[in-house]
Amino acid sequence: MDVREYIKLCCVKRGNMSEAELARRTGQTPQNMNNKHKRNTFKISELERIAEALDAELKISFVDKETGKPII
């Protein structure tokens, strides 16, 4: 699952939040948010704002490719 798919899934779990609503809550235009989803290009700072908009905490981990388990 890539970042854009994960964000969409989180939006669904948070009451089916639309991309436009997520854009509004993060201070972006819907067009800008749509472009980021299409290109799958999100900065860490943008992911932090998205997490805040979803009333969540951003956590990043490195996962072993073979086992699928976090390294730490």
Q: Got the DSSP string for 27-68?
A: T--HHHHHHHHHHT---HHHHHHHHHHTT-------B-TTT-
pLDDT at 12: 97
Each residue's pLDDT tens digit, 18-70: 999 999 999 999 999 999 999 999 999 999 999 999 999 999 999 999 999 99
In the chain, the amino acid numbered 20 is A
pLDDT band at 1 (very low <50, low <70, confident <90, very high): confident
Report the Cα–Cα distance between both ends of the chain, in Å, rounded: 20
> Which one, of 19, 21, 11, lies nearest residue 56 by Cα?
11
